Amino acid sequence: MNQDQKTILIVDDEQPIREILVYNLKKEGYNTIEASDGITALNIALEQHPDLILLDIMLPKMDGLSVCKRIKNSYNVPILMLTAKDSEIDKILGLELGADDYITKPFSVRELIARVKANLRKVENLSTARIENENSKKKENKIIVNDLELDLDKFEVKIRGEVIDLTVREFEVIKFLASQPGQVVTRETLLEKVWGYEYYGDIRTVDVTVRRIREKIEKDTSSPKILITKRGVGYYIASK
């Protein structure tokens, strides 16, 4: 097995779907592992640490949302939820529990592959940045905007001196906004720059992620003082 190849765990109780995914992912050069129920998927994920997980929501033994939550509590891996068509509540719940993305069934194989590549690329970019930061001789590599402080070497966020626990995706969103305080950034720009999508993706993904960040950094989420919404446009970090 090529050590440079990324391994993707495919979790779906429908064998035809697994076969389609295995065929197309292997054609793109990925290794694949399969699971047909939630318990097996959880065990494989925790034992083998795949590089990315495609996770169906409706599964026997343990549903995909529970699997997602358990995995994310143990280690950080990109998880793409496979949801029923137009099942908005599944998408939102998946993102709330830490899923990085979702794609609806029936899905376009081309779109799914693009999502897989984008999420893996984001992890690779973050790893490269971490290595570069570790090798840097700079004593401080921080972004400070009022009560918000980002330590780019430690990938750490503090609000009024208190460390806030953010996921990789949440950190990348707040880093992108904090690097240009006061400047409104559209949802589409965030999808492109943080998620790595050009025309794939749903801006609702951005809204849910921003809401999760606010719950962690704002005293009052109904009246945010740090991460502000510009209605109809996008988001920005308050500069004053």
- Model confidence over 62-75: pLDDT tens digits? 999 999 999 998 88
Confidence bin at 84 (pLDDT 50/70/90) = confident
Summarised one tens digit per residue, pLDDT across range 46-66 is: 999 999 999 999 999 999 999
- CA 77 – CA 167 distance, rounded (Å): 10
**Full-model pTM:** 0.65
pLDDT at 137: 47
Confidence bin at 3 (pLDDT 50/70/90) = very low
Domain architecture of the chain: domains with CATH: 7-124 (3.40.50.2300), 137-237 (1.10.10.10)
pLDDT at 49: 94
| 211 or 195: which leads in pLDDT | 211
Strand pairing of 234-237 and 185-186?
A: antiparallel
- CA 110 – CA 123 distance, rounded (Å): 20
DSSP-assigned beta bridge partners for residue 79:
53
Summarised one tens digit per residue, pLDDT across range 192-204 is: 888 876 655 677 8
pLDDT at 136: 54
Q: Provide the residue type at 91 as one letter.
A: K
* H/E element, 26: helix 15-27
Summarised one tens digit per residue, pLDDT across range 212-240 is: 999 999 999 899 999 999 998 899 999 87
pLDDT at 198: 60
pLDDT at 167: 84
pLDDT at 83: 84
Summarised one tens digit per residue, pLDDT across range 114-168 is: 999 988 988 787 666 666 665 554 456 888 999 899 998 888 899 988 999 888 8
Give the number of other CB atoms < 10 A from CB of residue 122: 18
